[in-house]
Structure 1
Amino acid sequence: MDDLDQRLIAKLRHDARAPVADLAKALGVSRGTITNRMARLQRDGVITGYTLRLRPDATPDEIRAWTSLAVEGNQQRVIRALLGEPGVAALHDTNGRWDLLVELRVGSLAELSSALERIRGIEGVSASETSVHLRTLRG
């Protein structure tokens, strides 16, 4: 990826629905260049999809939690199992005491409890610690 790819990705991070014409103008290149770059980034797997971001208060009944996991053995097997878990909104590989950081989004405390029970039951998960998200102070 070159500088133009990096700048394009930065613009798309800000607004993934920005029109190609607006992106081209902001980056000082033609619409065709932007279209070709986006197609290549998608084909190469750099861009894997587009997502929806909501205001933190847009889903007031949603419960968010962060679970830190320690993994023994095959981490890839644990990752595959976690990616199949419906409550997992994001999954991050980390360093330090914990191996993985899991962002959970569920509709109720009962759903959170069930999701945590399933996650803790995944072969290879040796320890976990969960914090419930109370509010966002800066997003």
Structure 2
Amino acid sequence: MKQHSNAKHIFDDHDRLLISLLRKDGRAPVSKLAEIMGLSRGTVQTRLDRLLESGALLGFTARVRDDYEADQIRAIMMIEVMGKNTSQVIRRMRGLPELTMMHTTSGKWDLIAEITVASLQDFDRVLREVRLIDGVMNSETSILLSSV
């Protein structure tokens, strides 16, 4: 695995434009990016390499329409953790593949987990598994009905 530089990357207008273009199309060829940016292919490749090396750009991903997996049940679970058990709870939750994202947060809830499952039985099982983790004090879960 590549080590990222600890130096903070200073973005200029070209870097911001490159990142913006990659957000729209992470699969865009360097030659197409160079054409849009009005720069040489080599210059864009160098900037791309520097953004990756510095850790400012972590990688490339596919964006999927919200309704792509319409048969999936998606939910947001807010979790209150007892005392200073947050790291332990996060480690245990990372073992659940149905938790597609986790976020620490401020306010009443310590963690927010995004859940994606195929059935209500799986949903019920995941809720039970999270609630049984040592250090989880309270939770509240909302099923996502539609994106607007």
**TM-score normalised by structure 1 residue count:** 0.85
Gaps of 5+ in 1: none
Distance 1:71 1:44 in 2: 34
Structure 1 or 2: larger helix share? 1
Following TM superposition, by how much is the alpha carbon of 1:45 offset from its aligned partner in structure 2, in angstroms?
3.0
Q: 1:11 to 1:78 in 2, by over 3 A?
A: farther
Q: 1:65 to 1:7 in 2, by over 3 A?
A: same
Deviates more, 1:118-127 or 1:60-69: 118-127
3-state SS, counterpart of residue 58 of structure 1: coil
Q: How many percent of aligned residue pairs carry the same amino acid?
A: 42
After superposition, the CA RMSD in angstroms is 1.9
Gaps of 5+ in 2: 1-8
Following TM superposition, by how much is the alpha carbon of 1:128 offset from its aligned partner in structure 2, in angstroms?
0.8
Partner of 2:63: 53
Following TM superposition, by how much is the alpha carbon of 1:17 offset from its aligned partner in structure 2, in angstroms?
1.0
Within 5 Å, give how 1:58-137 maps onto structure 2.
Answer: 58-72=68-82, 73-137=84-148
Following TM superposition, by how much is the alpha carbon of 1:120 offset from its aligned partner in structure 2, in angstroms?
1.7
Partner of 1:9: 19
Following TM superposition, by how much is the alpha carbon of 1:105 offset from its aligned partner in structure 2, in angstroms?
0.8
Distance 2:46 2:85 in 1: 38
Distance 1:49 1:41 in 2: 10
Distance 1:52 1:101 in 2: 23
Partner of 1:35: 45
Q: 1:126 to 1:6 in 2, by over 3 A?
A: farther
Which structure would you say has the larger Rg? 2
Following TM superposition, by how much is the alpha carbon of 1:51 offset from its aligned partner in structure 2, in angstroms?
2.4
Following TM superposition, by how much is the alpha carbon of 1:18 offset from its aligned partner in structure 2, in angstroms?
1.3
**TM-score normalised by structure 2 residue count:** 0.80
Letter in 2 for 1:92: H
